[in-house]
Amino acid sequence: MTATPARDRLARTLRGDAEPAFGAALTARTDDLSLEVEGVGPVAFPVRPAQARELLRLGHPARFGRGEETLTDRGVRDTWEIPKDLVRARWDDDALNAILTTAKDELGLPIAAELTADLHSLLVYEPGQFFRAHQDSEKDDSMIGTLVVTLPSSYTGGELVVRHLEEKKIYRGSKTALSLVAFYADCRHEVLEVRSGYRIALTFNLLLGGDTALPEGDEGAVAELAAFLGEHFGTPMSSRYGPRAATSPSRLVYLLDHEYTPRALGWSGLKGADAARGSLLRAAADRAGCEAFLALADIKTTHSAYEADDDYEYRGWYWDGDSDDDEVEDSGGPGDYEIQELIDSEVALTHWTGPDGTRLEKTSLFVGSDEVCASIETNDFEPYSSEYEGYMGNWGNTLDRWYHRAAVVVWPREQAFANRAETSPSWALDELAVMAVSGDLSGARAAAATLQPFWDSSLGARTPDDKERISGLFGKALRAASVVADPATATMLLAPFRAESLTTGDIDAFGRLVSGYGQLWTAGLLRTWFAAQPGWAYAGGPERQRWVADELPGLCAGLHAAHRPAPRRHGSSSTWYGSGPPRTSTQRSRRRPPAAATRHSPPWPDRSPPY
Contact 90, 343 (CB under 8 A): no
Pairwise CA distance, residues 377 & 368, whole Å: 16
Q: What is the mean pLDDT of the chain?
A: 80
**CA angle 577-582-583, nearest 5°?**
145
Q: How confident is the model at residue 384 (pLDDT cuts 50, 70, 90)?
A: confident
* Confidence at residue 479, expressed as pLDDT on a 0 to 100 scale: 93
The answer, yes or no, to whether residue 40 has pLDDT greater than 80, is: yes
Q: How far apart, in Å, are the Cα atoms of 286 and each of 86, 249, 293, 527?
A: 51, 18, 12, 46
Q: Could you read off the pLDDT of 311-364 as tens digits, one per residue?
A: 444 344 444 434 444 545 443 344 566 777 778 889 999 899 888 888 876 677
Q: How confident is the model at residue 566 (pLDDT cuts 50, 70, 90)?
A: very low
Q: What percent of the chain has pLDDT over 70?
A: 77
Range with the lowest mean pLDDT among 303-307, 430-434, 506-510?
303-307
The answer, yes or no, to whether residue 477 has pLDDT greater than 80, is: yes
Verify cis geometry, omega within 30 degrees of 0, for the bond prior to 565.
yes
* Confidence at residue 3, expressed as pLDDT on a 0 to 100 scale: 60
Pairwise CA distance, residues 390 & 329, whole Å: 24
How confident is the model over 221-240, as a mean pLDDT?
84
Which pairing describes strands 252-255 and 372-374: parallel, antiparallel, or unpaired? parallel
* Confidence at residue 403, expressed as pLDDT on a 0 to 100 scale: 92
What does the CA dihedral 530, 534, 535, 538 come to, rounded to 10 degrees? -50
The answer, yes or no, to whether residue 546 has pLDDT greater than 50, is: yes
**CA angle 192-196-198, nearest 5°?**
80
Compare 370 and 211 and report the one with higher pLDDT.
370
Domain covering 20-210 assigned CATH 2.60.120 in the classification: yes
Compare 345 and 21 and report the one with higher pLDDT.
345
Q: Could you read off the pLDDT of 167-193 as tens digits, one per residue?
A: 889 999 999 999 999 999 888 899 999
Compare 215 and 345 and report the one with higher pLDDT.
345
* Confidence at residue 31, expressed as pLDDT on a 0 to 100 scale: 95
Compare 363 and 15 and report the one with higher pLDDT.
15
Q: What percent of the chain has pLDDT over 90?
A: 38
Domain segments of the chain as ranges: 7-12+218-324+340-417, 20-210, 440-599
How confident is the model over 4-14, as a mean pLDDT?
86
* Confidence at residue 601, expressed as pLDDT on a 0 to 100 scale: 33
* Confidence at residue 246, expressed as pLDDT on a 0 to 100 scale: 58
* Confidence at residue 461, expressed as pLDDT on a 0 to 100 scale: 47
Range with the lowest mean pLDDT among 239-243, 317-321, 471-475?
317-321
Contact 324, 341 (CB under 8 A): no
How confident is the model over 393-422, as a mean pLDDT?
87
Q: Could you read off the pLDDT of 122-142 as tens digits, one per residue?
A: 999 999 999 998 887 777 788
Contact 255, 7 (CB under 8 A): no
pTM (whole model) above 0.85: no
* Confidence at residue 162, expressed as pLDDT on a 0 to 100 scale: 93
- Residues contacting residue 557 through CB under 8 Å, at least 6 positions apart: none
Range with the lowest mean pLDDT among 15-29, 102-116, 363-377, 434-448?
15-29
